[in-house]
Amino acid sequence: MSVRATTRPGGRSARVQQSVHQAVRDLEAELGRDALTVPLIAARAGVTPSTVYRRWGDLRELLSDVAVERLRPDAPPADHGSLRADLEAWAAQFADEMSSAAGRTYIRDALLGDPEQGNAARCSDYAAQQLKAIGVRAAGRGEAVPRVETLLDVVVVALVHRILFRPSDLPEGYTDHLVAAAPGGIPLPRHPKAKGLRFE
């Protein structure tokens, strides 16, 4: 849901990452997750196992990196004409994608293979950047907009908690309830580039 927090690799490094990530996705679809090994992935990607180990460390870290990329949004949030409508639509889509079996797996992979928590920050940035885009657009319409951190705490944190720890307890309309529970917002200048405008 954002621009990636870390710099994308370029040149050969980017090609290696792309081929290895694609190999993981293809082999997982063909053979299942439990069959994945570094040598198998390396052979499919056309690189040596030492290249994979050198870059990712081990299979868990590789799967974590792949998961973060798969959690990256591929489009900006849709414009439904108002802050409330935009937030409700975004939250519903977020909940639908992340609460799926694949979504929960990606979240767990992203965190399990990253003891330094860099991937957690990247995933948080994805959500923050999407919420910021919604907020900037709403401010341009003259609407009051809550801080991004407030929306993360009230909407995203609550959703991720339910998805990971209470996956069977995500009732219909829950995302709308979370959006409605967000504070009313803070007055912002009409033009997003106006001096002093901040989304934190």
What is the CATH classification number for the domain harbouring 17?
Answer: 1.10.10.60
Are 20 and 69 in contact, with CB atoms under 8 Å apart?
Answer: no
Which residue range forms the structural domain that includes residue 122? 83-181
- Give the number of domains in the chain: 2
Residues 66 and 101 in one domain: no
Chain segment 32-79, per-residue pLDDT in tens:
989 999 999 999 999 999 999 999 999 999 999 999 999 999 899 999
Q: How confident is the model at residue 131 (pLDDT cuts 50, 70, 90)?
A: very high
Do residue 104 and residue 163 come from a single domain? yes
CB 73 within 8 A of CB 130: yes
Is the pLDDT reported for residue 8 higher than 90? no
Length of the chain: 200
95 and 42 share one domain:
no
Terminal CA-to-CA distance of the chain, rounded, Å?
16
187 within a domain of the structure (yes/no): no
- Residue 188 belongs to some domain of the structure: no
176 and 99, same structural domain?
yes
Bridge partner residues of 145 (DSSP): 186
- DSSP characters over 95-142: HHHHTSHHHHHHHHHHHHT-TT-HHHHHHHHHHHHHHHHHHHHHHHTT
C-alpha dihedral, 100 to 104 to 110 to 115, nearest 10°: 170
Q: Using the predicted structure, report yes or no on whether residue 200 has a pLDDT greater than 80.
A: no
* Mean pLDDT, rounded, for 95-108: 92
